[in-house]
Each structure stands twice: as structure tokens, then as C-alpha cells.
Amino acid sequence: MTHASRGMGSAGEEQHTGRVRSLVWRDGALHLIDQRHLPLAFETVVCRTAAEVADAIRSMVVRGAPAIGAAAAYGMVLGARELAGRGADVRGGLQEVANLLKAARPTAVNLFWAVDRMLSVLERWPQLSDEELVDKLEAEASAIADEDARTCRAIGAHGAELLEPGGVLTHCNTGALATVDYGTALGVIRAAHAAGKQIHVYATETRPFLQGARLTTWELLQEGIPVTLITDNMAAYVMAQGLVKSVIVGADRITANGDVVNKIGTYGLAVLAKEHGIPFYVAAPVSTLDLNLKHGWQVPIEERDPKEVTHVLGRRIAPEGVPVINPAFDVTPNRYVTAIITEHGVVRPPFEEGLARLAQPEKRGATSA
């Protein structure tokens, strides 16, 4: 990977014309905002090989389930170009590229969905030459990215009317940086704000990687949406004070029964929301559904580097030798979820029936809005 550094001044100038895109395909390479360094520095990483894309996903240069899926799609394009460039069989070698990308992060189902969709191109165009196949793969990856932008706006439109004016608590980062350029849960907040609702966001810092403190607040400040940062363990306090009217989060995987696998800490927020009588919404595209799994505890939970817990911004804060567990995600049982907001409408309990309808395009019209 190659790095291109830019100061916060130029980043701020970009924001005057709209949100940043987490990723851009340009000149045959994938350009990613390096989310590890925000908000202190605005830097980009350029990936020119599939291995570099896999490393960018694994190391959290790019993060957020939809953004990971789009990045992986372009990783498949780069892998196909590498194979064609050295005279290897593109069709024969692309499965290995797919395996490399899928291994980068095991929990986000969008990664697997996007890679499998790219592999389906091979089946749809069995007679194409390798050069023609690479072009088809690039077109498919661009379609995935473009569809994500439209999908997030549709999620925002469906969800905005659910949010009451007042405080909205959100967790992790689910905005333009987690998708291609708009956001899922943060897209709902954006849409509500644009519609004139008096929304005030309470953003959890989201330990241990601090996506809320570093990324969500940065995005919202850029757009002038009122936001207050709280530590994760302040959530109960702000709810008890009546400052929160709704909670909205994203998802990395939603199983057939409506269990939600999302950033660690989500489960605790859902329990607190129910205790305080606050609706708990989940915003996610249909590509995040995994109806092959009956419940959330069947999902592999990624265990990350202990240094994310023992260190903050590279500086050790815990004693040497202390044991650490660092699951990246937890499972929120469906009984705590008020509704799941998708691009095709809002699904309420019982989730099994509504989510199954979403998987069948001919029946989506029956989903409540």
C-alpha cells in the first residue's frame, strides 16, 4: 500500500461540497481514507493489489460492513488484473483471491456477500476472455459501490420518520466512513436532520478503537449536526436523565431470527434502552442479512489484537502482562430490537417473517414502511 498524507485543512475544504467517500476507484487503484488516523490527520491509502486490500480491511484502514464489502469487490478486480498480468488463468485463480479477502475479517457478512457476488460474474460470462472478464468485474465492483450509495439514502428515508425530535444515541461509526458515502444509522440521522427534525446526537466513544469519538463526531461536526460525545459507560446516565429519545445503531450481520451482531457494546445499550423504555433501532442494508443462520451466536466473533485494549493511540495504559479479551462484536438478542430499518422498508417483530420477505424481491412490497 502507498500512503498519501493530507492535512486537516484540505479535508475540511472537501466537506464544504459534501461528505467524503470512504473509498474511490481511480486510475486502476483503490483509494481509501485511512480511518486509523482521523481526526488528527486526513490521509489516504492507495491499494494496487488484492493483498493490499485484504491488509487494509484487516488493519482497519477501511471499516464498516458496507465499506468493507465495496472495498473487497475492488480487491477482486485487482486480483483478477494481477492474474491476467502474469498470464495466469483468471478464472482458476480468482477463488484464491476470494479466500484471501474473506479471511481478512470473519464477522461482517457484507464482505462475503460482495466477494461471492463478484465470483458470480464468472458464471454469468463463461465465454469471455480474461481481459473482457476483468472489465466485467470492474463494472460489477462499481455497481456494488453505486448501489450502496443509493441503498443508504433509502435507509435514511425510511428511518428518518421513526426518530423523535430530541436526543438520539448512536454507537460506533455508521456514516459515510462506514459505507461508501452516506451511512446506515448515521444516514437515518442525516435524513432526519435534513427534514428539519431537531435532532441532537449522543455519540459513544466506542472503546476500544474509538470509532465514535474519532469518526462519528468528526462527520457530524463537518455537517453541522449537533453532537455530544460521551464515554461508553455514560449511556445509562444520559438515558436516566431523559436526554435520549431513541437509540439507533448499524449491524455487521443480522440472522434469520432478528438477532443483531454489531460493534462490541451494542448489546449493553440495547438492554439499557429497554430498561428506560427507549426504542432501539437497527439500520442495515439487506446485504447484511444472513438468513442461513438461525441466531446470532452462530456468527463467528472476531477477536482482535489485545493492544487495542492495553494501548490508546499507540501508548500503553495497562500494565505489562495483564490478560485481555478483545471481541470486536457482540450479539443483541432480537427481543431488545424495536425495528430493523432497511432500504426496502422497516421490519418489526416477529422478525423471522419480515426478514424472510426481504430476501424475496417479489414479496418486498408487503414490508411495512
pTM of the model: 0.89
CATH at 124:
1.20.120.420
| Catalytic pick among 148, 252, 259, 290 | 252
Environment class of residue 230 by beta-carbon count within 10 Å: exposed (0-12), middle (13-18) or buried (19+)?
Answer: middle
pLDDT value for 20? 80
Is residue 364 very low, low, confident or very high in pLDDT (cuts 50, 70, 90)? low
pLDDT value for 366? 46
CATH at 273:
3.40.50.10470
Same domain, 18 and 148: yes
> Which of the listed residues 103, 131, 152 is the one where a domain comes to its end?
152
Residues 193-200 have a mean pLDDT of 97
**DSSP-H helix ranges across the chain:** 8-15, 50-58, 65-85, 90-102, 109-124, 130-160, 185-194, 211, 217-223, 235-240, 266-275, 307-310, 351-358
Cis ω for the linkage preceding 319 (within 30 of 0): no
**Domain total in the chain:** 2
Task: Find out whether 314 and 280 touch, Cβ atoms under 8 Å.
Answer: no
> Which of the listed residues 152, 175, 209 is the one where a domain comes to its end?
152
Residue tagged 431537531 (cell numbers):
198
Same domain, 252 and 318: yes
Domain range for 354: 153-366
- Interaxial angle between packed helices 90-102 and 130-160, expressed in degrees from 0 to 180 and rounded to the nearest 10: 30
What pLDDT, in 10s, does the model give residues 229-247? 999 999 999 999 999 999 9
Question: Phi, psi at residue 203, to the nearest 5°?
Answer: -105, 120
| Whether residue 252 lies in the annotated active site | yes
**Cβ–Cβ contacts within 10 Å for residue 188, how many?**
30
pLDDT value for 2? 74
How far from chain centre, in Å, is Cα 82? 27
> Which of the listed residues 110, 128, 152 is the one where a domain comes to its end?
152
CA distance 155 to 141: 21
Same domain, 158 and 77: no
Same domain, 182 and 88: no
